[in-house]
Chains A and B, each alone.
Chain A
């Protein structure tokens, strides 16, 4: 089955700096890669996603890149703000019999210091 590795597990940055979180996946047939933000006491919220036919996607201060050859994808947050502090999860969706299933990374606790 799919295996998703996420790094780093914790990340601390100063307000205004950039933050990068990286994930690798094992199933070359995976075709969808969402990123979720989970604030304390809340459910994961989908913030951006990328599909396998696209190499990069941007939405305001957040961007995601995908390298299918290397089987890795990354989340980039620019001009970080204290409200960006949360746990971020990457995930990958398989294909065929695993079409329904998202496999999640173990999460990155991002702390943005004012």
Chain B
């Protein structure tokens, strides 16, 4: 199936730990994104990579570090997790052009205890 996939789907961890979320897309797109969705369902862009180059870096604590080993993968590493990091994190991808349709993964629900 062609899709955007994320692992893990659920992540429960203690405050202060370091964790990673992985994303892969097989749509042949050149741009990938990380979004955070809070408890009120608000979707906020965090990062975007185009051809492995960081192009969007919103106001996000530097405890969050994205890494794109190639065009098909974008991982998110979070250091020193805090309670406020609990949210659903979505990966998305698109082929940049005039209109830039974005396709989302299923999400990773992160719970920090």
Contacts and interface: CB of A to CB of B under 8 A. Distances in A.
Interface size class of B (residues with CB under 8 A): 20 to 34
A102 B100 contact: yes
A25 interface: no
Give the one of A32, A34, A100, A104 with max B CB within 10 A. Answer: A100
Q: Is the interface of A mostly helix, strand, loop or mixed?
A: strand
Interface in A28-45: 31-32, 34, 36, 38, 41-45
Given A32-B100, A34-B101, A44-B104, A100 B43 contact: no
B12 interface: no
Contact of A43 (B99, B100, B107): B107
Nearest to B48: A100
Contacts of B31: 100
B32 to A, nearest CB: 11
Nearest to A50: B99
A102 B45 contact: yes
A14 interface: no
A107 B98 contact: no
Given A100-B50, A107-B41, A93 B96 contact: no
Contacts of A49: 99, 101
A43 B104 contact: yes
Contacts of B107: 41-43
Contacts of B4: 43
Interface of B: 4, 31, 40-45, 48, 50, 55-56, 90, 94, 96, 98-107
Interface of A: 31-32, 34, 36, 38, 41-46, 49, 51, 87, 89, 93, 99-102, 104, 106-107, 109
18 contacts: A32-B100, A34-B102, A41-B107, A43-B4, A43-B106, A43-B107, A46-B102, A87-B41, A89-B43, A93-B99, A99-B96, A100-B55, A102-B100, A104-B42, A104-B43, A104-B44, A106-B40, A109-B41
